[in-house]
Structures are given as structure tokens and as C-alpha cells.
Amino acid sequence: MLTQKETDFLTQTDKGTPMGDLFRRYWHPFLLTTELPENDGAPVRVRLLGEDLIVFRDTNGKVGLIDERCPHRGASLFFAINQECGLMCIYHGWKFDVNGDCVDMPSDLPGSNFKDKVHVASYPCIESAGAIWTYMGPAENKPQVPSYVMNVLPEENVMATRTMIYCNYLQSIEGNLDSTHLGTLHLYYDNMIPADLEYDKPGHPSPRFSNYITGTQKYARIDVQDTDYGYRLIAVRKTPKGNQHIRINNLALPVMTWIASSGGNGAVFTQLPVDDHNCMRVGFIVRPDKPFTAGERQAAESQAALLQDPDNPKLRLKRMDNDYHQDRVAQKTTNPPGIWPIPEQDYAVTETMGVIMDRTKEHLYHGDAAVIRLRQMLGKAARDLQEGVEPPGLNGGIAYHKIRSEDIVIGPNDDPWLVATDAGESTGRGERLR
């Protein structure tokens, strides 16, 4: 458990807080490119790390991310006119470009240069992997642009998603790094029926066999291994023939997570704080070996649309105030939560902890090794930054694009630490956290 003071330290990310300073030293995806499709189109409100901002695409297609409030009298620039390479405030006509510079002040004295002295807070943006990314830290410390696997693959091999989650970022990302909940929260009772047993041999198993193992072998030995970018979580379960079923998740500080999947395919998620009470999951489904078809993209978009509230598309359909549409019959016949699809199961348990979980009341056990290590790493990185020590992973020397998760069966005497070390991870056994 954590003290309330330590919980506050880890969960508060507003500007000027230690954790907020740490987050602002990294690039983060915050919007899908499809959510900002048109040059000179309507601006979009976004809230990131407790700051109210406006994102817009100018006449030339450049993306700007600036403070929502006009620096003149504080009117919202959401209502501004986006044209001729800038946002024009509808109050007095002051106009700002993607760099936050005031480029026109028609209500000022003719010949005045006052506009040259006015600037609105702005943050640099790039577009990559179907998303818009920003860096919100000091300009002199801006790191190289992101080079995760989704950033280096062809765009047709990546699908990006964005979902609002109604709780603090920390409990949301902790769910991504918890391998022992698979056998309960994500169990479908059919998974407990033996199937695809021919995959009980070294190699990549079928999804059905993996689900059978995680559904029937609820205990997993959890090891955590520190890396230059964060850590690897390795969950080991025994198979019926005595082999080892290995699931490897990865954390790249502060909040990028690779979810265990076979052969480099699968999902990479970030849990970016909107404010201390909300976060967003920006996810990337990657398939290195072949592109996604138009039909696959359409199916994914249709599924996402079904999970939006028809009366307010900015909200998820399944929320705490409607009990996530839980089906009490299905809870006993289909899956323990009685909720689907799988992401909604995660949201249900993390959001019902409260917007900020009271960690003074929790009781952690061996299966929470990765959760413990996440808190240790985030806390240390934030404290070190306050002392002038640069955050980890920003020196350009890490092969981020080679980080990969894994879901694989290995022999009974094979070493799990030799699996998925493409990004230069040590092959030595990690320290067990107890």
C-alpha cells in the first residue's frame, strides 16, 4: 500500500507538479489525425495534463496546439475563425498562428508593433502512426521524435484508436501491467474447455490455446526486469505437457505499454492524463508483416461507434452510471464480469476504484510485482528530475522500434529471459520483487 502523500505525488500531473514535469519531458499521442481532417477546419478542444488547449490545422495543413484562452481578455479560442494560417479570436480579432505568435491585431493603433510582443502558450506537434503527438516540456530539452514500432511501420500497418477513461491515469496503466487478472476479468468460460492442444509445444500458440492456459492456470509467476527504457514483465504459466507459456509485456516510461501478443503483432497503449480525474487511452494495433485492409479498418471503426453514447458521442456508452450494461445472467454463463468487449472490462474495474484510488487500503501480493515496480520507477524518475537528473530513455540511444511483447510457448528448461530481447534488453534473470 501507499501513503496518501505518495499517492498524491504519483497521481498529480498538473503543470508544476513533479509528475507533471516528468510527463512533459516526453512526446505523447493525444488525438487521431482523423479527428482533425481539414485544413482551416473547426478547432478541437483538448485537455492534457490539466491544461485546457485548442488544436487546429491551418491553411497549409500544419497542426497547432495552443492555450484555449486568448491572452487579451481570456475569451475561448475554440470559437475562433480558422483561416489564412491562424485562429482569429471573435472578440477583438487578435489572430494566432500554430507557433502561438500573434500575427494580426486589427483593433490596435495603425502602425503599432504591440502584436509582436504577444504570444499564447503553444506546444509543437507531429503526425505519426495515425495520431497527433505533442511535447509539452522546455523547448531546450525537446527529445527526438518518437520511434516506437508504430512510428516506423508504414501507416497502412497501423490502426490508431482513442478512448476516454474516467479515472486517474495510474490505476488505468496499472491494469495494463497486471498479468494475473486475465484468468478472471478476461475469462470467457468457454476458454476453460481444452482446445488446440497441438500448440502445447515450443513456438507461437493459437489465441485459443493461450486463452485456455490463462483461463485454467490462474497462477502465474511474475518477474520484472529493468531495462534502459523501463521494464519487461514476464508471466510464466505451466502447460499441460510441462512446457512454459510465456507472456511478456513492456513498459516504456512514463506510460507506453506493449500488451503481450505473438510475434510482434498486437497492441501498444499509452494512458495520457487528461487531468487528475481522467485519462485517455491512445492505442496502436500493429501488424508488421502486412497492412490492414479497408474492410478491417471499417470493422474496427464500426465496433468503436457501437461503444459511443448515441446521445453524446464524446462519452463511452458503457459507464459507471449505467453499470457498464452488466448482464447478471451472462456473468454466470459467459464471463465473470458480465461485461464486454474486453476493454470495457478493464475500464469497469479501474473506474470503480474511484477517480483516484485510495491506495492506503490496498493489499498487494506477489502478482502485483509489476505494479509495485511501476510506482517505484515513476516516483524515482520524477524525484530525480527535481534534482536535475535527466529522465530515462531520452538520450537517443535506445532502439525503441525494436521493443516487442510476446506470447509464446517455450520448453520446460528454456530460459524466459532469452525471449524478446531485440531492443538490447539484458538476457539475465530479472530481480524478483516480493
DSSP string, 54-96: EEEE-TTS-EEEEESB-TTT--BGGGSEE-SSSEEPTTT--EE
What pLDDT score does 431 carry?
A: 45
User: 305-362 pLDDT, tens per residue?
Assistant: 999 999 998 899 999 999 999 999 999 999 999 999 999 999 999 999 999 999 999 9
pLDDT at 412 > cutoff 70: yes
As to burial, measured by CB atoms within 10 angstroms (0-12 exposed, 13-18 middle, 19+ buried), residue 103 is: middle
Give me the residue label for grid cell 483461463: 215
Mean residue pLDDT across the chain: 95
Return the SS3 of 12: coil
Determine how β-strand 81-82 pairs with β-strand 27-32. unpaired
Render pLDDT for 40-94 as a digit per residue (tens, 0 to 9).
999 999 999 999 999 999 999 999 999 999 999 999 999 999 999 999 999 999 9
d(CA 188, CA 340): 10
Retrieve residue 260's grid coordinates.
Answer: 503481450
Q: Is residue 23 within a helix (H) or strand (E), and if so which, with residue range? A: helix 18-23
What is the pLDDT at residue 328? 98
pLDDT at 434: 35
pLDDT in tens, 116-132: 999 999 999 999 999 99
Q: Using a pLDDT cut of 70, give the percent of the chain over it.
A: 98
Q: With cut-offs at 50, 70 and 90, classify the pLDDT of residue 428.
A: low
**Domains observed in the chain:** 27-141 (2.102.10.10), 149-418 (3.90.380.10)
Tell whether the model's pLDDT for residue 22 goes beyond 60: yes
Grid cell in block for residue 147? 520511434
Q: Binning pLDDT at 50, 70 and 90, where does residue 432 land?
A: very low
Pairing of strands 256-258, 230-238: unpaired
